[in-house]
Amino acid sequence: MTSATTADFPGRGLTHRQILTVMAGLMIGMFLAALDQTIVSTAIRTISDDLNGYDMQAWVTTAYLVTSTVVTPLYGKVSDIYGRKPFFLVAITIFVIGSLACSMATSMYELAGFRALQGLGAGGLFTLALTTIADIVPPLERAKYQGYFLAVFGTSSVLGPVLGGLFAGADSILGVSGWRWVFLVNVPIGLIALVVVYKVLNYPQNKLVGHRTDYWGAATVAVAVTPLLIVAEQGRDWGWTSTNAIICYAIGLIGLALFVFVESKMGDEAIIPLRVFKNRVFTQGVFISLVVGAVMFGGISMLPQYFQVLRGSSPMMAGLQMLPMVLGMMSASILSGQLISRTGHYKKFPIFGSILITTMAFALHYLSTETPLYLVMLAAFGLGFGLGNLMQPMMLAMQNILPMRDVGMATGTATFFRQIGGTLGVAVFFSLLFSTVGPNIQDQMQSAAQTPEFRTAVVQAIQSDDKDVRAFGEALKAAAADPNADAGGKTDGLMKDTTIIERLPEGLSHPIKQGFADSMDRVFLSVSILSLLAIIGTITWSEVPLRGGPSKKDDGEVEVA
């Protein structure tokens, strides 16, 4: 145990106004990364159509995901050694250059490569923003400020899909193809962030003198994580036990073994020193971060699917319908931050948050096509409120467990494992969705096929002027003539283009939506079961007194692990 006071913080002595000035630069940088996570998702279909690469969509996402995840712990560690400011400027510069390059892509292969470059910058934006605020504000006071970061994250989560849909829907803006503005919008924001960060990030920074960069550790992290992220993204198409998947598993295990070997040799120089995992509180926090990431990204990704497929919302409207969840996250983050600053205790907030997300995920598994929209919004708000009570206090706790010299590494490690959890969560939950939706739709269609409404709808579809609707109706008619045929029609086609569902007659669209709802119910039930691990983890987690508050000895020092 070591003693730590507020004097250990390199940014001590800054006024509230100076802290807010620094935060302005940090929040612009974080806004860049958070916006990019969501703005591309709603425009990727238009982009792939324009670049004649529909089947390359997943690789564009994977390229960005792999590079941004792999470099996250590296940014945290090197900023501990050399300082935050230069690497924040480097991260923003790489991100802006990558964004500009993406806007000029002429093929999906080029776009995937440029997205990988963009990810190299994005990986540092979240980590360095949270690490810098940890430099200048003790944990007891930091809780108040970190709520603003989550507000930025939440705002971009809503704004991203709306802007993505807006740009993708425009043929051209100022003579440039609309979808290219998905990336171009980052350029002016990034340049502003560069100027602001250069001007305001001038507080004295503690640096680990005499330390060297663990490049071999970074390389082995890449070898261990990259194939696992690739298989997480591509596994649904390849098959989880396919040759490609098994090769990825094998390379990942080899990379993990090499990582452990290299880090054991590097000691304190390691990108993630193995000694930190001897700290039970920190290790348990990493596990909770992994679970929370899976629940957060896996669960959140289902709601836009619900709004777009079952409610017929456009990507823009689905983004706006996510607003209650974002408001829940923002309000819980700010409220928990204020209460933590007043009381000096944080443990009850992750416990409450984990219980709430479990309850809300379980409630969402009752969703159907008839569920009143206000109930869905209320459950989404509850889910966001639970996440707000988890994300902010969790990061605060992880930064507080280890000594100040390790704050960048601790932040990077926590973010790294949360992203890994999120990637795995999305992969698992979407695989569950798509593996069950076909059979469920088929069951619903077979039941509906006996009704006069269904038969009338088939006739209407065949007579439709919409060629896709007409083709679907003809497929159903052909299936009806063959008792052994799939009465659900071409379900694979529906999953590739769900917009056709809203164009179908009611007698056909209703059983399809019901089958989709049945699969989504199973996913939310799985999310609630997984989140039980978060409840167990947070309840049994030890609370480490926050630096910057009075200790039991009341001598102005705080005992920390």
Beta-sheet strands, E only, within 114-213: 172-173, 176-177
The amino acid at residue 100 is: L
pLDDT at 210 over 60: no
| Same domain, yes or no: 69 and 200 | yes
Name the residue with tokens 């409404």: 453
Whether residue 515 is contained in a domain is answered as: yes
Q: What is the pTM of this model?
A: 0.78
pLDDT tens, position by position, 177-199 = 888 998 999 999 889 888 888 88
Of 211, 231, 251, the domain-final residue: 211
| Same domain, yes or no: 266 and 206 | no
Of 270, 294, 317, the domain-final residue: 270
pLDDT recorded at residue 12: 58
Distances (CA, A) of 359 to 351, 352, 383, 529, 532: 12, 11, 8, 10, 10
Which residue range(s) make up the domain with 226?
A: 215-270
DSSP string for residues in 434-455: HHHHHHHHHHHHHHHTTSHHHH
pLDDT recorded at residue 558: 34
Distances (CA, A) of 305 to 38, 499, 519: 14, 12, 11
Distances (CA, A) of 272 to 119, 220, 306, 398: 20, 11, 39, 14
- What is the spatial distance between Cα 267 and Cα 276, in angstroms, rounded to a whole number? 11
pLDDT at 548 over 80: no
β-strand partners of 177 = 172
Whether residue 285 is contained in a domain is answered as: no
Helix, strand, coil percentages for the chain (3-state, nearest 5): 80, 0, 20
| Same domain, yes or no: 14 and 42 | yes
| Same domain, yes or no: 159 and 186 | yes
pLDDT band (50, 70, 90) for residue 3: very low
- Contacts of residue 412, Cβ cutoff 8 Å, sequence gap at least 6: 72, 73, 74, 75, 76, 77, 127, 131
Higher per-residue pLDDT: 167 or 486: 167
Whether residue 463 is contained in a domain is answered as: yes
| Same domain, yes or no: 99 and 243 | no
* CB contact burial 269-295 (16+ within 10 A = b; e otherwise): bbbbbeebeeeebbebbbbbbbbbbbb
pLDDT tens, position by position, 482-526 = 555 554 445 555 655 666 787 888 888 888 888 888 888 888 999
pLDDT tens, position by position, 252-307 = 999 999 989 988 888 777 788 888 888 888 899 999 989 988 888 777 778 877 88
Half-sphere exposure for 291 (CA within 13 Å, toward CB): 26
- What is the spatial distance between Cα 472 and Cα 508, in angstroms, rounded to a whole number? 10
pLDDT recorded at residue 547: 67
Number of domains the chain contains: 3
Contacts by 276-282 with C-beta closer than 8 Å and gap 24+? 276/402, 276/406, 276/409, 276/410, 276/413, 279/401, 279/402, 279/561, 280/542, 281/401, 281/541, 281/542, 281/544, 281/561, 282/398, 282/401, 282/402, 282/410, 282/561
Of 253, 270, 287, the domain-final residue: 270
Of 151-165, 373-387, 423-437, which one has max mean pLDDT? 373-387
What is the percentage of the chain residues whose pLDDT exceeds 70? Answer: 87
- What is the spatial distance between Cα 435 and Cα 93, in angstroms, rounded to a whole number? 41
| Same domain, yes or no: 125 and 256 | no
| Same domain, yes or no: 192 and 261 | no
| Same domain, yes or no: 194 and 222 | no
| Same domain, yes or no: 8 and 86 | yes
CB 506 within 8 A of CB 463: no
Averaged pLDDT, 12-32: 77
pLDDT tens, position by position, 234-265 = 777 788 888 888 999 999 999 999 989 988 88
| Same domain, yes or no: 60 and 159 | yes
pLDDT tens, position by position, 51-101 = 877 567 667 877 887 888 888 888 888 888 888 888 999 999 999 999 999
- What is the spatial distance between Cα 402 and Cα 277, in angstroms, rounded to a whole number? 11
| Same domain, yes or no: 131 and 246 | no
Whether residue 4 is contained in a domain is answered as: yes
| Same domain, yes or no: 169 and 250 | no
pLDDT tens, position by position, 323-366 = 888 888 888 888 888 888 888 888 999 999 999 999 999 999 88
Average pLDDT along the chain: 81
Residue 130: give its domain's CATH number.
1.20.1250.20
Whether residue 290 is contained in a domain is answered as: no
Among 440, 430, 453, residue whose Cα is nearest residue 486: 440
Whether residue 405 is contained in a domain is answered as: no
Whether residue 362 is contained in a domain is answered as: no
Whether residue 392 is contained in a domain is answered as: no
- What is the spatial distance between Cα 234 and Cα 58, in angstroms, rounded to a whole number? 7
pLDDT at 539 over 90: yes
- What is the spatial distance between Cα 186 and Cα 146, in angstroms, rounded to a whole number? 23
Structure tokens at 166: 């807006």
pLDDT at 154 over 80: no
